[in-house]
Amino acid sequence: MADTDAPLRTAVSRQREPAAAARELAEALCHPELGFVLFFCSAEYPLAALSDALNGAFEGVPVAGCTTAGEITPEGYGRGCIVAIGLDRRHFAVSCALVEDLGGFDLIRAQRIVDGLLDDCRDRALAPVGEHSFALTLLDGLSSCEEQVLATLDAALGRIPSFGGSAGDDNRLAHTHVNAGGRFHGQAAVVVMVNTRLPFEVFTTHHLRPRDEKLVVTRADRERRRVLELNALPAAEEYARLVGLPVEALAPEVFARHPLAVRLGEAHFVRSIQRVNDDGSLSFYCAVENGIVLTAMQPAPMMEDLATVLAGLNERLGEPALIIGCDCFLRRLELETLGQVPSASRLLARSRVIGFNTYGEQHHGTHINQTFTGVAIGSRPTVGPAR
């Protein structure tokens, strides 16, 4: 039985029929103080029917979410299902906005959206919005607009922390969708502003360490995120040489274990490879351009890094009410290759993580890959009501 005083409730449905799945979620989440529903679903669902079913099951309650490359359920990793979080309006003031025409997104539009979201939260008078709010961003994972949209939005958000994930489609790399306003959308983004008296911490982590080898992008198609040459040689051939495999053996599992990264200051930001193209070029999930230097990376033990990060969040916030997690699908591929999915699932479930596997993660306005990024939300309020 659900805790009637819990600020956040979670649910999962593995029903394949949309109406049955929506009813199962509603039975677990609905109560008189339900204020918002956030969901992550497999792209295998008939999306138009699913959105209609969710609208009916949660009538009068705003709903937002996206398609995934895998789900993180209350029991750990799932696939082919839908997971949802219900936010209690006594603890959370939530406002949501849809961003269409991603290519034309500018600072004026971003500021207008952010101001509207903050005004909406401020009207609920839960906590001062500047110090006690965070933003969640969900983007079409195949839009190729993440960098522009996130940088612009971050400028408008100012000191308000943000995180998020790019929608997936069960590793098909064909069509990804976000949901807001009662239906699914392609080539769009959703911005969810959350104001709360509960403590929270936005975080990101990865388990990848730099090697000595470097690759210089000597020819790239920036618009299509495609690298044609590395070190003045065909990109796929040069990458295959680096990892010690023939070109025909290159696959997502290889990319997960042998990523490349850009160094900015003392930090490395992974630029994950999406696929090998017929012309011998490499498509990436993040922006690439001529002249950038890519550092070869190698994985350290993922489970150790994840356990350390989750333990640190617990120490700082106390036992969390929930962690909303955006976990790169390449990390899950690595865990599957190593046979570590069951142990990872137990750790995520124990730590109260709910979320999804992404085609890219977002942290403070930066588009990143092969990370576990999210927000941990504490159980006990640390601030009084806003005045």
The tens digit of pLDDT for each residue in 232-277 reads 999 999 999 999 999 999 999 999 999 999 998 888 989 999 999 9
Q: What is the average pLDDT value for the chain, to the nearest integer?
A: 94
The string of pLDDT tens digits covering residues 330-350 is 999 999 999 999 999 999 999
2 within domain boundaries:
no
Element (H, E) at 72: strand 71-73
Same domain, 93 and 13: yes
d(CA 271, CA 262): 7
pLDDT value of residue 5: 75
Averaged pLDDT for residues 141-157: 89
Residue 386 has pLDDT above 60, yes or no: no
d(CA 223, CA 308): 38
Same domain, 295 and 331: no
Residue 143 has pLDDT above 90, yes or no: no
Same domain, 220 and 176: no
pLDDT value of residue 385: 60
Share of the chain above pLDDT 70, in %: 98
The string of pLDDT tens digits covering residues 69-84 is 999 999 999 999 999 9
d(CA 237, CA 216): 14
163 within domain boundaries:
yes
385 within domain boundaries:
no
Q: Are 220 and 227 in contact (CB under 8 A)?
A: yes
Instruction: Provide the edge-to-edge strand list for the sheet that holds 178-180.
Output: 8-13, 82-88, 34-42, 63-68, 178-180, 183-185
d(CA 121, CA 145): 27
Same domain, 67 and 93: yes
Last residue of a domain, one of 254, 275, 299: 299
383 within domain boundaries:
no
Question: Which residue's entry shows tokens 């992550």?
Answer: 40
Averaged pLDDT for residues 2-30: 92
The string of pLDDT tens digits covering residues 199-217 is 999 999 999 999 999 999 9
Same domain, 146 and 216: no
Cα end-to-end distance, the chain, whole Å: 35
Same domain, 290 and 321: no
Q: Which domain holds residue 188?
A: 8-205+304-378
pLDDT value of residue 383: 66
370 within domain boundaries:
yes
Averaged pLDDT for residues 88-103: 94
pLDDT value of residue 313: 97
Averaged pLDDT for residues 2-16: 87
Last residue of a domain, one of 299, 323, 356: 299
384 within domain boundaries:
no
pLDDT value of residue 12: 98
Same domain, 289 and 141: no
d(CA 37, CA 210): 39
The string of pLDDT tens digits covering residues 22-73 is 999 999 999 999 999 999 999 999 999 999 999 999 999 999 999 999 999 9
Q: What Rg value do the Cα atoms of the chain yield, rounded?
A: 20
Residue 329 has pLDDT above 60, yes or no: yes
Amino acid at the residue 366: T
Same domain, 231 and 143: no
Same domain, 195 and 311: yes
Averaged pLDDT for residues 301-321: 95
pLDDT value of residue 134: 98
Same domain, 280 and 359: no
Residue 382 has pLDDT above 80, yes or no: no
Q: What is the dihedral of CA 337, 252, 38, 144, to 10 degrees?
A: 160
Domain count, the chain: 2
387 within domain boundaries:
no
29 within domain boundaries:
yes
Per-residue exposure over 43-78, b if at least 16 CB sit within 10 Å of its own CB, e if not = bebebeebbbbbbebbeebbbbbbbbbbbbbbebbb
pLDDT band at 100 (very low <50, low <70, confident <90, very high): very high
Q: Which two tokens stand for residue 383?
A: 């601030």
pLDDT band at 296 (very low <50, low <70, confident <90, very high): very high
Same domain, 124 and 267: no
Instruction: Provide the edge-to-edge strand list for the sheet that holds 71-73.
Output: 76-78, 71-73, 353-358, 322-328, 372-377, 200-205
Same domain, 321 and 192: yes
Last residue of a domain, one of 299, 321, 340: 299
Averaged pLDDT for residues 107-112: 96
Residue bearing the bigger pLDDT, 194 or 288: 194
pLDDT band at 1 (very low <50, low <70, confident <90, very high): very low
